Each structure stands twice: as C-alpha cells, then as structure tokens.
C-alpha cells in the first residue's frame, strides 16, 4: 500500500494547488459541483490503486483532476469599466437584487420601476450609489416605453449601452386556461411579450454600437405545460422564442443573447402582500366566471388550486443570488451561455420533461406544482375523489364507481 502513497498524494497535491489558485482568483466557487467532483476523484483514486501501476495512476488521476477543475472554472470575464446596463422591473425580486449587485460592482445602472415611491425604489435610492438612476415605466404603456428609450439615449450618450436585462414580468391569475379570461392572456402578453419586444427593438441601435448583451428572464412555465399557468406560460414561451430569433439574427452584429430560466424563488415584496394579492385574484375570478363554468368546475375546485399554489410559493427559495449571479455572468462572460437554469431541481425538471413519457411528465408537474382535483361536473353527483384516488382511477383500465370522500 505504501507504493501508492506517493503517486496518489502527488496527484492530490497538484489538484489541491490548482483548486487553491482558482479559489484565490475567484475562478472557482465552493459548492456542490466542487464537492461532487472531489468525490468522483476519490472514487477514481480508489479504482486506480487496485487496477493500475503507480505511474499510470498518477497520470490518470492528475489529468482527471485538471480536467474537472477546468470544467468547474468560471469562464473569463470582461472588465466592468464604465459599462451601463438597463434593468426592467426593479421594484422587487430579481430586478431589485440585480440592480444592487451590478451597482456595487461598478456598473452604471438604469433601473425601471412601476412606482418611484415603492418600497423597492426607496431601498435602491437608500443603498445604491448616485450612479444608479431610477425611471418609472409601465410595460403595458407604449408611451412609457418610448419615454424610457429617450431616457436611456440621454444617459448613455458618453458611455454607450452595454446591456439590457429584461426582467419585468406579470402573472396575476392561477387557473385552468378555460377559466382564465381572455383579457388576462392579453395583459400577460402586453407585459411579458409586446412590452419586452418594443423596448428591446428600441434599444438595438445602442446595443449594436457597443456589441453588447441582452439578458431575459424566462420561466420553465414557458417550456412546460405547468397546471393553471396558461396565460403566463404562453406569454413566456412567445418571449423566449423571440429571444432565440434575436440570438440568431443579431449574431453578425456581435450582440449576445441569453435567457435565464429560474426555478421557484421568492420574488414578491412580502408574504402578506402576496397572500392579499392572490386572494383578491381568486375572488375576482370567482366573481366574473360565467355561471356555466362555475357550475362545471365548482368553487371548491378553484379554492383547491389556489391552496396548492400558495403552498408551492411557501416552499420557494428566498436566496435570489443564483439568478443574480447568472445575470452577471451573462453580462460579463466572454462566452455567455445561451441558457441558464438556476434553482433547485430545475435540471431534473427539464430531464423529466424531455426524456420521460407524457404521463410521467404530467404527474411530475402536478406533484411539483399544482395537482387539481376533479371538476364538479365529472363527479357523477358525488364529492370528487382526492388527487391520488383520481390518478389511481385513471391508471385502472376498468374503473369501478368513483369512491365518495368527504368535502
């Protein structure tokens, strides 16, 4: 066993020296990927000790460690210098945190907010440098967007515009597509698609001049049929496709386009405000639902999906730094990724969506997000089964009568 000490120890010494150097240069981040790589190297070391001669083991282990650390290293980044970035939707959530981070890094940040006196706007004024400029803009109002375009042109005349972060977004209803008013689809499209389109097109001359960056916050709901997010998901799907088109068409101009598809994060201004907003949304839906649909689905159906939605929100991750870090990387990496997937379980979600059968995909999204109960009209005059019983009945090729449960 002693003959293995020097090759194994020598290889680990090389790996440790490079890892330490990368950590000191901030090219490597402590976290699960690094721990996983070290665990795999330890397993490889164990196999080498039993299968290979010492010199071959040293070469293989050192090469594997070097490759692993190279893969984990952050790509080279551009200097911040005097770069100016416009971020939309900075009242709260990702936009506010990204504005604070970029301002602290030395960017000149132009931040749009819905209300210049909102808590988020006041916080940005209080904690950021004088280089950060706030601008009121409503993405549903073309006049506001036109005014913002003029504002950006004036404030970037000397520095140019390096980046646009399309963060502003809207989702104000949770319901089946049949239950969601057409006006809600239009509103989501106005904010998430048409507003983003108008702003991006208006800024392209400045971005072409700087060969800059476009970073857009998407959503997995735009890639997958999340239950009860039809209006929001379709608008995000349209926006992401638009960014893919821009990515291809703007490549000759040197503009790089990235889309960030975050998992479930807590982005609201406060839990009490969120609960009140969603309660008002539910009551508004119930009050305006045609009687025929209310009879078919039942008020308890809508109450159930809102309870499940609020439960999923309670499990959201409060730390927004993974998304903010990806925004920074998309703005400064010499070769930014086309897609970023920050958040817990997002990789698994996309694997299931693209690789597993449709029935398993549907069940996963229901278990992960919202599992609707059976609509009233399908209960055959009896209280609806629980979601688990409903799945069991769907899987049975010869189902018997639906079991009655207490409501």
Domain boundaries, the chain: 2-72, 84-350
The pair of three-digit structure tokens given for residue 259, joined into one six-digit string = 């889309």
Rounded to 5 degrees, φ, ψ at 386 are -70, 165
- Percentage, residues of the chain above pLDDT 70: 88
- Strand ranges (DSSP E) for 288-393? 339-340
State the pLDDT confidence band at 111, using cuts at 50, 70 and 90: very high
Lowest mean pLDDT among 30-44, 198-212, 256-270, 342-356: 30-44
pLDDT at 7: 58
**Contact between 246 and 257 (Cβ < 8 Å):** yes
Hey, what are 110's tokens?
Answer: 């132009």
> CB count, 10 Å around CB of 346?
17
Among the ranges 86-90, 168-172, 262-266, 393-397, which has the highest mean pLDDT value? 86-90
Cβ atoms of residues 171 and 232 within 8 Å: yes
Residue 157 pLDDT: 87
Q: Please tell me the predicted confidence (pLDDT) of residue 385.
A: 45
Q: Could you tell me the sign of the dihedral formed by the alpha carbons of 386, 343, 112, 339, in that order?
A: negative
Lowest mean pLDDT among 156-160, 213-217, 279-283, 380-384: 380-384
Instruction: Band the pLDDT of 404: cuts 50, 70, 90.
Output: very low
With cut-offs at 50, 70 and 90, classify the pLDDT of residue 87: very high
Q: What is the pLDDT of residue 267?
A: 82
**Residue percentage of the chain with pLDDT more than 90:** 60
**Per-residue confidence (pLDDT) for residue 6, from 0 to 100:** 53
Tokens of residue 156, six digits: 């970037």
User: Averaged over 163-180, what is the pLDDT?
Assistant: 95
Pull the structure tokens for residue 2. Answer: 């002693």
pLDDT confidence tier of residue 12, bands split at 50, 70 and 90: confident
Average pLDDT over residues 53-61: 81
Arithmetic mean of pLDDT, 234-244:
97
Q: What is the pLDDT of residue 49?
A: 77
Q: Is the pTM of the predicted complex or chain greater than 0.85?
A: no
Query: Of residues 70 and 218, which shows the higher confidence score?
Result: 218
DSSP string, 98-123: HHHHHHHHT-EEEEEES-TTSHHHHH
pLDDT surpasses 60 at 399: no
pLDDT band at 407 (very low <50, low <70, confident <90, very high): very low
Opening angle at CA 52, ends 46 and 53, nearest 5: 120
Residue 398 has pLDDT above 60, yes or no: no
What pLDDT is stored for residue 2 in this prediction? 45
Q: What is the DSSP code string of 268-291?
A: SS-HHHHHHHHHHHHHHHHHHS-H
**Alpha carbon 222 to its chain's center:** 11
Q: Tell me the CB-side half-sphere exposure of residue 233, using CA atoms within 13 A.
A: 16
Q: How far apart are CA 324 and CA 343, in angstroms?
A: 11
HEC per residue, 173-236: CCECCCCCCHHHHHHHHHHHHHHHHHHHHHHHHHHHHHCCEEEEECCHHHCCCCCCEHHHHHHH
Distance of alpha carbon 229 from alpha carbon 75, whole angstroms: 35
Q: What's the pLDDT band for 390 if we cut at 50, 70, 90?
A: very low
pLDDT range class, residue 27, cuts 50, 70, 90: low
The mean pLDDT value for 364-380 works out to 88
Fold of the domain spanning 84-350: Rossmann fold (3.40.50)
Q: What is the pLDDT of residues 256-277, one digit of tens each?
A: 999 999 999 988 644 445 778 8
Lowest-confidence range among 73-87, 109-123, 242-256, 335-349?
73-87
Q: Compute the mean pLDDT over every residue in the chain, rounded to the nearest whole number.
A: 86
Residue 215 and residue 220: Cα distance in Å, rounded? 16
| Residue range 139-156, pLDDT digits in tens | 999 999 999 999 999 999
- Which residue has better confidence, 316 or 384? 316
Mean pLDDT of 61-85: 83
Q: In angstroms, rounded to a whole number, what is the distance separating the alpha carbons of residues 69 and 99?
A: 31
- Quick check: is 354 catalytic? no
């Amino acid at each position: 066993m002693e003959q293995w000490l020097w090759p194994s120890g020598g290889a680990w010494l090389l790996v440790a020296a490079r890892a330490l150097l990368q950590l000191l240069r901030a090219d490597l981040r402590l976290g699960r990927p690094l721990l996983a790589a070290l665990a795999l190297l330890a397993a490889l070391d164990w196999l080498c000790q039993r299968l290979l001669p010492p010199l071959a083991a040293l070469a293989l282990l050192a090469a594997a460690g070097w490759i692993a650390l190279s893969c984990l290293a952050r790509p080279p980044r551009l200097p911040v210098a005097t770069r100016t970035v416009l971020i939309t939707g900075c009242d709260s959530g990702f936009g506010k945190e990204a504005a604070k981070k970029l301002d602290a890094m030395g960017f000149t940040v132009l931040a749009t907010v819905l209300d210049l006196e909102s808590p988020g706007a006041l916080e940005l004024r209080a904690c950021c440098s004088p280089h950060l400029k706030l601008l009121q803009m409503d993405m549903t109002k073309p006049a506001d967007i036109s005014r913002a375009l003029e504002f950006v042109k004036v404030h970037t005349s000397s520095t140019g515009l390096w980046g646009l972060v399309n963060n502003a977004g809207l989702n104000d209803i949770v319901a089946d597509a049949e239950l969601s008013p057409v006006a809600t689809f239009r509103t989501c499209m106005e904010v998430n698609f048409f507003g983003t389109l108008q702003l991006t097109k208006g800024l392209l001359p400045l971005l072409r001049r700087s060969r800059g960056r476009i970073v857009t916050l998407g959503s997995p709901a735009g890639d997958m049929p999340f239950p009860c997010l039809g209006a929001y998901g379709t608008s995000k799907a349209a926006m992401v496709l638009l960014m893919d088109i821009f990515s291809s068409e703007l490549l000759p101009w040197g503009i790089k386009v990235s889309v960030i598809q975050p998992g479930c994060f807590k982005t609201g201004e406060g839990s009490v405000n969120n609960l009140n907003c969603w309660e008002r949304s539910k009551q508004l839906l119930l009050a305006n639902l045609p009687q025929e649909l209310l009879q078919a689905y039942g008020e308890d159906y809508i109450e159930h999906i809102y309870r499940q939605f609020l439960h999923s929100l309670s499990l959201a991750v409060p730390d927004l730094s993974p998304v903010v870090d990806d925004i920074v990387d998309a703005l400064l990496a010499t070769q930014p990724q086309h897609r970023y997937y920050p958040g817990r379980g997002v990789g698994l979600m996309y694997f299931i969506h693209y690789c597993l059968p449709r029935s398993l995909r549907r069940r996963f999204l229901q278990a992960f997000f919202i599992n609707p109960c059976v609509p009233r009209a399908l209960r055959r005059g009896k209280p609806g089964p629980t979601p688990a019983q409903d799945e069991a009945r769907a899987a049975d090729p010869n189902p018997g009568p639906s079991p009655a449960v207490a409501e």
